[in-house]
Amino acid sequence: MRVLFLAVLYFVFSLPLFSQEQLTLGEAIQLAKKNNSDYLIAKLDLLKAEKKVSEVYSENLIPNLTLSATYSRSFRKQQINFNGQTFEVGTDNNIITSLDVSEPIPFLGTPVMNGLRIANYYKRLQSESVNQIESQIKADVTKAFYAVLLLKEVVALDKESIANSEENLRVVDARYRAGVALEYDVIRARVKVETLKPDLTLAENNLQIARKVLKNTIGVKEIEEVDAQGTLLYDSSEVFGPTENIIRNISEKNVSIRQLKLTKKINEELVDVDYANYLPKLYLFGQYLLQANENDDRSISSYHFYHVVTAGIGLKWDLNVFTNSYREDQSIIEVKKSEEKILQTKELLKAQAEAVLLRIEDAKNRIKAQKDLVMQAERGYELANASYKAGVLNQIDVVDSQLVLNQVQLAYVQAIHDYIVARTNLEFLLEK
């Protein structure tokens, strides 16, 4: 028996512990930022863009240095016949070391400043991508979080309805045993209790699904289950400002517009770069040369090295006019495409903003109406119960009042949830 007892203890304590963590909305959002792959990749792309800016500055503002060294051995030298005699040209060993310096002159066809501006625009574009993904994470987590809270309210309301129905069954059964109620009333009350239980089971299943969705949205793997900590609340004092200002801010300052404007600026800079290809490119250059040419009759320690230093200005001119023209035309087309995308996105954002504001207003109106209805339905249910106990009303009146109370309570919490979702969508568009 002792061995069996120890074996059972080992089995129990070796089982993995079920872990569930209660999270606030802020904690859920912070966890999602840490675990979201798109967000992490976007931040790495931003870091890469910052390094690219440094690279472009280095390439254009710091002279380009190239060090090279060669050694060549002549196994058979070139020969020249002159006046019946043969002469060898060259030496057995040749050593050449050179240090070349070049620096483009930012003038005419050398668009140095354009390249620097393009690199900075690209870095800003990646920064906006980080902001966009961060806002999307916040919106997705907020919706998943409040979906859990909504279903927790639904489960609580279903349990409350079952409890009320069971209490009603108890009262009806007592009245039936006292001979003041019909058996039909008892059957009806019992059926009512049983018909509410599948709704509770469905709500509990949906709650488990919502918790899994929240966990996947956050991206946590080390926790078996997460739960939302809080309640569905409606703040009637929330003011978002004049509708016209909201729509204008969204359509003019949204991250999508900022990204498209940066893309347009990049394309405009590329047009200038393509235009510069028609012009000559000037550059400064210099060279330091260390060279030795010796035969085998001398050791390397006695080689005579001579130095050569040269410097000057160079010119390159691409005369492929037609190729440059085609490139410039393509860049101009990209600028026009960016302009059309900006106009299209502005109209789309206006429509989205107007729809979200309408949903917010609709939800606020429903919250106000349903709140009054909940108070009336609760009072009606209390009166129906009291009147039934006093023998004034029928049992069917109690069932009807309970059904109405359940419906308006569900409608009330659903209206609050709809308001929060609409507000989240508005905050996403406003990047709050």
pLDDT score for 144: 94
pLDDT digits (tens, 9 = 90+) for 94-145: 999 999 998 888 777 677 788 888 889 999 999 999 999 999 999 999 999 9
**Residue 398: is its pLDDT beyond 60?**
yes
Residue 4 pLDDT: 43
- Those residues whose C-beta lies under 8 Å from the C-beta of residue 275, and which sit 6 or more positions away, are 328
Report residue 317's pLDDT band, with 50, 70 and 90 as the boundaries: confident
CA Rg value for the chain: 40
pLDDT band at residue 17 under the 50/70/90 scheme: very low
| Between 14 and 333, residue with greater pLDDT | 333
Average the pLDDT over each of 7-21, 176-190, 231-245 and give the range with the smallest value.
7-21
Q: Which residue has the higher pLDDT, 51 or 15?
A: 51
Give the DSSP H/E element, type plus range, for residue 156.
helix 112-177
Q: Quick one: CATH architecture of 19-62+109-280+321-430?
A: Up-down Bundle (1.20)
Question: Could you give the angle at the alpha carbon of 27 between the alpha carbons of 24 and 31, nearest 5°?
Answer: 140
Instruction: Measure CA of the first residue to CA of the last residue in the chain; give whole Å.
Output: 65
pLDDT at 414 over 80: yes
Residue 165 · residue 405 · CB < 8 Å: no
Can you tell me which residue has the tokens 């967000």?
39
Q: Which stretches of 28-75 are assigned E, i.e. beta strand?
A: 64-73
Residue 389 has pLDDT above 90, yes or no: no
In 3D space, the residue among 169, 144, 23 whose CA is nearest the CA of residue 421 turns out to be: 144
Rounded to two decimals, the pTM is 0.77
The per-residue pLDDT for 321 is 67
Contact 138, 428 (CB under 8 A): yes
For position 119, what pLDDT does the model report?
87
Q: Residue 267 and residue 260: Cα distance in Å, rounded?
A: 10
Give the range among 39-48, 70-79, 80-89, 214-223 with minimum mean pLDDT. 80-89
Instruction: Please state, for a pLDDT cut of 70, what percent of the chain lies above it.
Output: 94
Q: Mean pLDDT across the stretch 206-214?
A: 94
What percentage of the chain reaches a pLDDT higher than 90?
42
Calculate mean pLDDT across residues 325-331.
81
Question: How far apart are alpha carbons 241 and 398 in whole angstroms?
Answer: 45
Question: Hey, where are the domains in the chain?
Answer: 19-62+109-280+321-430, 64-107+282-316
Name the helix (H) or strand (E) containing 262.
helix 255-276
- For residue 60, pLDDT beyond 80: no
The CA distance from 171 to 395, in Å, is 10
More confident position, 10 or 89: 89
The residues that bridge with 285 in the sheet, in sequence order, are 102, 312
Q: Which residue has the tokens 């019992």?
A: 190
Which has the minimum average pLDDT: 2-6, 269-273, 342-346? 2-6
Averaged pLDDT score across all residues of the chain: 85
Encoded amino acid at 259, one letter: Q
pLDDT tens for 163-179 read: 988 888 888 888 888 88
CA distance readout (Å), 70 to 74, 290, 355: 13, 11, 72
DSSP 132-154: HHHHHHHHHHHHHHHHHHHHHHH
CA atoms within 13 A on the CB side of 68: 8
- The per-residue pLDDT for 18 is 41
Average pLDDT over residues 395-399: 79
Whole-number pLDDT of residue 6: 42
Q: What is the model's pLDDT at position 286?
A: 94
pLDDT of amino acid 149 = 94
- In Å, how far are 91, 206, 215, 357 from 24, measured between CA atoms? 83, 20, 13, 27
Question: Residues with Cβ < 8 Å from 231, sequence gap 6 or more?
Answer: 149, 153
pLDDT(5) > 60: no
Average pLDDT over residues 248-266: 92
pLDDT of residue 276: 77
Close Cβ partners of 401 (under 8 Å, ≥ 6 residues apart)? 377, 380, 381, 383, 384, 385
